[in-house]
Every structure is written in structure tokens, then in C-alpha cells.
Chain A
Amino acid sequence: MQINPLGDDRVKVILKGRLDTPGVDRIETRFVAAVVPAGRHALVDLSEVEFVGSLGVRMFISVARSLRLKQAQLLLIAPQTQVHDMFDHVSLSDIIPICADEAEAERTLDA
């Protein structure tokens, strides 16, 4: 997991590998700690994530809700095709913005 500040009010997080049960178990605590307490918008780059299951979706929903309480947003960037298809199955984009790239995510935040 890589964390890059993007100015004062937002941070980019790059996740890699599999967000299956063991994958989420390995990163969830650090991911939440890196993103939620500061209350900044979180842009999560998924371009190098090859698999997401329901526990990964649950983690994103939980973080999005926590950030919402701090008037901040979680945005997901560049999911791979099959990951994006899975997000469509659960209509995730209805509740968390899914953007093609960082530029689109920035425009979404600044709109």
C-alpha cells in the first residue's frame, strides 16, 4: 500500500494485489488508519488490484461512511475490467464514485 498526499485536503492511496479475505485482513487496519482520522478525501487507485471480493467492497463502504461523517469522500480509481464488472453487480457506483483516472477523480471532487 502506498500513500501520497495530494495537497491539504486529499490523499492518494495505491493498493496492489488481491482484496480477498486474507488481503483485506492484511491491509484494512493500515488503510483505515491512513485515511479516516485525517478526514481528507481519499482517492484509491485500484489499477494494480487484480481481485476484489465482498469483504473488499465492505471495507470501501465502511471507509466511505466514516469519511462522509467528516465531510470527505472516498473515490475509487481505474479498477480493472473484471473488478469493475463486480462493482457493477452490487451497484457500487451508486454510493461511491468510480473514476477512470486521477484527473477525473480530481474533477469529481472539485465539481
Chain B
Amino acid sequence: METTPHVLRFAATRASFEQASADARAALEACGVHGSARYNAELVFEEVVTNVIRHGHAPEIEMSLACLPGADEIVLTFEDAGPPFDPLKQPAKPLPKSIEDATLGGLGLLLVRKASTCLHYERTPGEKNRLTVTIATRER
């Protein structure tokens, strides 16, 4: 398992998403992340990055993936230079109980919370949004 953090930088556009996603999956593979941890990491990438792209205010996203041999978690960090936005302060939407009640959005943050063991947001001194996501790599 590699120790050097993997860092990806890509344009915050839908056109760039597919390649960025493939690069992120390759980084997870290089870190030896598999099974449910792999799925959770891919889910976090999908939901966090598409949310930044959807808001359309950041030109670029930087993602780093840190994994240490023997550790039971990996850490994904996402940075963008968009306006201040703390996703953790967004209100949680209740889950629908019927198809009639179901709304078509708002599941992304819920899935990020479910896929992670720890979430942290900060506005950096360099005026960037930084979201740090910890994902367990061993079943608890």
C-alpha cells in the first residue's frame, strides 16, 4: 500500500468529471482500497465533486487521497476556490416514505455522511473550501 498522498487537480466541469473519476479510482486501486471502503470512497468523490460542479463557482478542484499502511481508514480532502460553502451546515432532508413524497434531490450529502466516519469543513487562510472526509477501510 502506497504512503505518498495522491493529488488530483481537475477542472470543475462536467466535461472533466469522467476522467477525474477514473483517475480517482486508479488512485484508490494503487492504495489497495477495495470492497465497501472502495465503494464509499467512490461515492464520496461522486457526490462532493458533482456538488461543486453544480454550483458552478469554482474553476478547479484539488483532491488528495491519503492512505497509510496498516491504517484502518483513508482520508480524502477536497479543495476548491469557490465562494464559502459549508456543506455540513446544509439542513438534512427527511427520507420519503412514499413515491409521492419523494423529492428528486438532496441525497448527495446524506450519502457522504453515511459513507464516512468523520467529516470536517474549513475555509482555509488561502480562501478555499476544504472538506476532509475519513472513510473506514475495515468493517466495524
Contact = CB atoms under 8 A, between A and B. Distances in A.
Given A20-B21, A61-B102, A96-B99, A90 B107 contact: yes
A96 to B, nearest CB: 7
A95 B110 CA distance: 17
Q: Name the prevailing secondary structure of the A interface residues.
A: helix
B95 to A, nearest CB: 5
A56 to B, nearest CB: 10
Contact of A89 (B99, B102, B110): B110
Contact of A94 (B35, B36, B96): B96
B17 A62 contact: no
Contact of B39 (A51, A91, A94): A51
B95 A82 contact: no
A95 B104 CA distance: 13
Contacts of B60: none
B104 A53 contact: no
Contact of A65 (B99, B105, B107, B115): B99
- Chain A interface extent, by class: 20 to 34
B42 A54 contact: no
A86 B41 CA distance: 12
B99 A58 contact: no
Contacts of A54: 46-47, 107-108, 111
B17 A22 contact: yes
Closest 4 CB pairs of A and B: A82-B39, A54-B107, A89-B114, A53-B46
Interface of A: 20-22, 25, 51, 53-55, 57-58, 61-62, 64-65, 68, 81-83, 85-86, 89-91, 94-96
7 contacts: A20-B42, A21-B46, A53-B46, A55-B50, A82-B35, A89-B110, A95-B98
Interface of B: 14, 17-18, 21, 35-36, 39, 42-43, 46-47, 50, 95-102, 104-105, 107-108, 110-111, 114-115
